[in-house]
Chains A and B, each alone.
Chain A
Amino acid sequence: MSGNEDEHMLDAAIKYEIRSMSDQRPPDGFLNRVMDKLEPKRPTVWVRLKLWLTGPRSMTFSPIQAIPVVTCALALLALGLMNMNYSISDEAEPQLSTVRFVLSDKSMSAHTVSVIGSFNSWKAERSVMWYNDVEKTWILEATLPPGDHEYMFLVNGDKLVADPLAPMTRDDGFGNKNSIMFVNGSNEQSL
């Protein structure tokens, strides 16, 4: 018989003896004595903070105490929303100003008049003027963003006419003088 077989037989005998032993109750106070001798482990600051934040808390207050707190919270919320709306509208929409284009035509010699300019991609169909019988003028009102806008009147679809009332003109490089409309804020066409 080899040494390994002896060890196996011994193990089997020990296992049999252990299984066949009867259950014994530990002595009184054994558990407490063991627990008392264990070193308590202190959790880290973050773990304690997490436990404090996630643990349920009970708060008691009267309605009279809650009123100022709720009022302050609502005021802050309203202020935040107002600021958010202001910044969104400020960024999304440039300040537009209403301007008026006028071309005098006492005898109504023109059939159609349009304003073509940098603000409408020079497309006549986008800014067709209407004739005012009382004032004997072609009129168009438009809202424009701040800037100096170049434009001309297109009469009867083919004749380019500079605005005689424009404060300034600029050579267009093609042999014409573009009129300039200055837009600098809400109060336009006045200094």
Chain B
Amino acid sequence: MNSRYSAHLLVIVVTAFFLLGASPGLTGDNFGELVNHSLKCGVSADSVEQVKSLVSDSLVTEDQAVSLLSPLLKACVEQLPLFPFEDKLAEGISKRVVPLSIVRVLDKRLEAYRFARELLLTSSGRLDQDALVVIGESVEKGVSKNDFESYAMAFEDQSPEIFSTGVTMVALQGQVGFDYALTRTILEHGVKRGVLSTDWRYFVRIILAARKQDVSDKAIANAAVSVILADGAISDVMPELGFTERSLAGELKQ
């Protein structure tokens, strides 16, 4: 465990002590207390107001409201980025999802972000917020933790920009079931040739477009590697695959 990680944990523990120590408990029945603690910690007033409105409109009970706000306060106390949690709460409320389902998703997200934070602090030692969100979101969506651990070990010494680009590729390509071994091959060649610009982070768009034309994942990866070895750009991959017109809708014409 490196010293940055230890210091980070210490800050979290101390903050948690002060913010939660005197509270009636995250599952207690004092909604007002929880609202005050949440606002004091830094949970956005919009999120708190949304939950309060649900209570005042009798759409949820105070106990349910406590359950909805608790994951946000936990994320705040643990110094995780709050926006993903506030956004998911807003999404659930907007889609009129039952509170229990929202809480379940928020708790799952909390666990995913804890994993992401630990991984980043124990590998690169940097708590890059973009990488944290990307890993957290993807683990929540089911991308293998092993893929991220493997990636972090292999690329921990890269610059923040390259590390962030690579982690986004692992995340998005993992979400569409693109084999991590293929992603890693592309990344290794890209890093070695020094051509892994931020444009590559959305390589998944090419994967999805090419798949619609029945191009295999292996062929897509090979095309990417060929382009990289020729010091080309991501825009050269589709021509390398034999396509001359491209669109995100996947209407490819040869």
Interface residues of A (CB under 8 A from B): 116, 118, 121-124, 148, 150, 152, 158, 160, 165, 167-168, 170-174, 176, 182, 184-185, 189-191
Contacts and interface: CB of A to CB of B under 8 A. Distances in A.
A124 B248 contact: no
A189 B248 contact: yes
A191 B220 CA distance: 15
Nearest to B106: A173
B87 A184 contact: no
Interface stretch (B60-68, B91-99, B147-155, B186-194): B91-99
A135 B101 CA distance: 39
A167 B96 CA distance: 26
A167 B249 contact: yes
Contacts of B142: 171
B87 A182 contact: no
Interface of B: 46, 87-88, 90-97, 101-102, 104-105, 108, 140-142, 172, 175-176, 198-199, 201-202, 204-206, 208-209, 234-235, 238, 246-250
A124 B94 CA distance: 8
Contacts of A121: 46, 87, 90
Contacts of A172: 91, 95
Contacts of A191: 205-206, 209, 234-235, 238, 246-248
B209 A122 contact: no
B96 to A, nearest CB: 8
Looking at A116, A167, A184, A190, the one whose CB has the most chain B CB atoms below 10 A away is: A167
A158 B247 CA distance: 31
A160 B250 CA distance: 23
Contact of A123 (B94, B104, B202, B250): B94
A168 B87 contact: no
Contact of A190 (B87, B93, B101, B248): B248
A39 B105 CA distance: 88
B94 A167 contact: no
Contact of A168 (B101, B140, B176): B176
